[in-house]
Amino acid sequence: MTEPPDDNLDHYALGFYAPGKGLARADCPYAEGTQAHAQWTAGYDAALAEREGTQGG
């Protein structure tokens, strides 16, 4: 089964800004196993890593 078009959304950026909107990692709106899910969670994880890096300094 192929994935539907994503309307040129930047899934990484959406995930990156999700923690600031109060969303948890489990709130990812994309199905597991899709490229959109992988990009969203990568963005989310990057945001958390950036936050941890700025809090300790």
Which of the four pLDDT bands, split at 50, 70 and 90, describes residue 56? low
Phi and psi of 29, rounded to 5°?
A: -80, 0
Rounded-to-integer distance, Cα 55 and Cα 35, Å: 30
**Which CA distances in Å does 18 have to 13, 14, 57?**
9, 6, 23
pTM of the model: 0.80
Length of the chain: 57
pLDDT at 7 over 60: yes
Chain segment 14-50, per-residue pLDDT in tens: 999 999 999 999 999 999 999 999 999 999 999 999 9
Query: Which amino acid appears at position 26 of this protein?
Result: A
Q: What letter does residue 54 receive in the DSSP assignment?
A: H
pLDDT at 54 over 90: no
pLDDT at 4 over 80: no
